Structure 1
Amino acid sequence: MSVTELVGKKIRHHRRSKEITIQELSRVCGLTVNYISLIEKGEANPSLNKLHAIINALEVHWSDIMPTKDEQKVISEKELSSY
């Protein structure tokens, strides 16, 4: 799993746990439904400003969506093994 996929997965988790639809999140953060969907699937690499808008809309912290130290280690190991 890449960093982009992991962040997207965490965003989806927080959105669903707060029972917010993609449409509602789109309206609050100003991003399109399609773009949010791509982020959640790990198919888009959003800018920090766009992530900030999502974080604010979900009322979570950066640490809630960023990879933990253990997750970073796993991602790095997988990247190294792919060479």
Structure 2
Amino acid sequence: MLISILNKFGKRLKELRTQQGLTQEQFARKCGLHKNYIGMVERGERNPSLINIEIIAKGLGISISELMKI
């Protein structure tokens, strides 16, 4: 179950990031996170903390609830 939700979240993040025309590196820089971390989240390899979920949502300019529509 956990792996499934991580994959869904990662897919959602990648979808939203690419809609904004941002590379992983550009988005990571915008959020103050490492590009490898963003890649790992998008592939479902990392379980982002609540703090990082908030940072990611702000980086996308959306609410956490919008980000979590998986």
TM range (shorter): 0.7 to 0.9
User: Which residue is 2:54 aligned to?
Assistant: 52
Tell me if 1:4 matches 2:6. yes
**How big is the shift at 1:60?**
1.5
Question: Please, what TM-score do these two structures have when normalized by structure 1?
Answer: 0.75
Runs (4+) of structure 1 moved beyond 2 Å? none
| SS of corresponding position for 2:21 | coil
Question: Please, what TM-score do these two structures have when normalized by structure 2?
Answer: 0.87
Change beyond 3 A, Cα 1:37–1:43: same
Q: Which runs of 5+ in 2 are unaligned?
A: none
**How big is the shift at 1:63?**
2.1
Which has the higher Rg, Structure 1 or Structure 2? Answer: 1
The count of corresponding residues between Structure 1 and Structure 2 is 68
Percent of counterpart pairs with the same letter?
A: 34
Alignment equivalent of 1:13, drawn from 12, 15, 30? 15
The CA deviation string for residues 14-45 of structure 1, in whole angstroms up to 9 with x for no partner, is: 00001011111111111100000000011100
Q: Which runs of 5+ in 1 are unaligned?
A: 69-83
Distance 1:38 1:51 in 2: 14
